[in-house]
Amino acid sequence: MTTQAHTSQLSATRGGINWQRVTAVMRKDWLEVARNKQVIASLVAVPLVFAVLLPAAIILLGGSGILTSTIAGLQGFLDNLPAGVAPSSYTPDQTIVYAVIVYFLAPFFLVIPVMTASITASSSLVGEKERRTIEGLLYTPLSNRELVLAKVLGSMIPAVVLTWLAFVIYTVIVGVLGAPMMGGIFFPTWTWAVLIVLLVPLVGFLATSLIVAVSGRSTTMQGAQGTAMFVVFPILALVIGQATGLMLFNVTVALIAAAILAIADVLAFLLVVAKFQREHIVTKL
């Protein structure tokens, strides 16, 4: 029995991380989120807009001119759309729907993991402070790396899963509503494959790491949530770049962004762990 327990402990701590302790903290955080109906409602709101309302409205109203007058940057995007982006056989209305569904809305899907992570991650340490449970957590055997990793993954995983679910819903709506109008299935594309598989987890990890870092020093959840704007700004730059014709969010742009984000994720996590000070948090209680 002793040998088995020792082997189990060595397996759990492989790579310097005790994954049993990490997953225990993650499960605790998920239960806290599940009990908060206000948080659940907030988590559903953002994907509902991007995965349901926007694609349905674009397909149903794409050629009417209503959307171009209500969605900021959309008319500029259509005016600067490079030739050959959509199949040459498409009508003007079909080209509008194709371009908006495939290209214009792609960067907006990166907002979902950022906003979701901002809601869950901001409550990681700040929420622990408000619930008066942070002191007990800080005195557990978890190392700083394990504690930060648990908080980051505990918020990133729900953000990624929720975004993937939103993508599935988006794909179904585009297929059901768009196929009759477009003459067949035209979505998803390779750009979206890179976005969903690579960019969404990388963006979610970066946003969560930054928010967890600020949560250790913030006294309110709103202050911690404001950190997410640092990740939203580059996403808005992609939207503006498309609207002004500077670039198109294609596979090349997506892969370059993924490479940059991978490096940023590693640096951000190492920096957060290095700057994480339990004594400072305890003295601020």
Q: CA-CA distance, 276 to 124, in Å (whole number)? A: 14
**Contacts (Cβ under 8 Å, ≥6 apart) of 235:** 107, 108, 110, 111, 114, 203
Taking residue 77's Cβ as centre, other Cβ atoms within 10 Å add up to 23
- The per-residue pLDDT for 196 is 95
User: Residue 73 corresponds to which tokens in the numbers above?
Assistant: 């940057």
Q: CA-CA distance, 110 to 231, in Å (whole number)? A: 10
- The per-residue pLDDT for 93 is 84
- The per-residue pLDDT for 10 is 39
- Can you give the pLDDT of all 285 residues of the chain as single tens digits? 444 434 434 334 444 788 888 888 888 878 877 787 877 888 888 889 889 998 998 888 876 667 666 676 677 788 888 878 888 888 888 888 898 899 888 888 998 988 888 877 766 666 666 666 665 666 677 777 888 888 888 888 989 999 999 999 999 999 999 999 888 899 999 999 999 999 999 999 988 888 877 766 655 556 555 666 677 777 778 877 777 777 788 899 899 999 999 999 999 888 888 877 655 555 454
- The per-residue pLDDT for 256 is 93
**Contacts (Cβ under 8 Å, ≥6 apart) of 107:** 235, 238, 239, 242, 249
- The per-residue pLDDT for 9 is 40
pTM attached to this predicted model: 0.81
Q: CA-CA distance, 193 to 180, in Å (whole number)? A: 23
Q: Which residue has the tokens 């050629």?
A: 63
Residues 109 and 203: beta-carbon distance below 8 Å? no
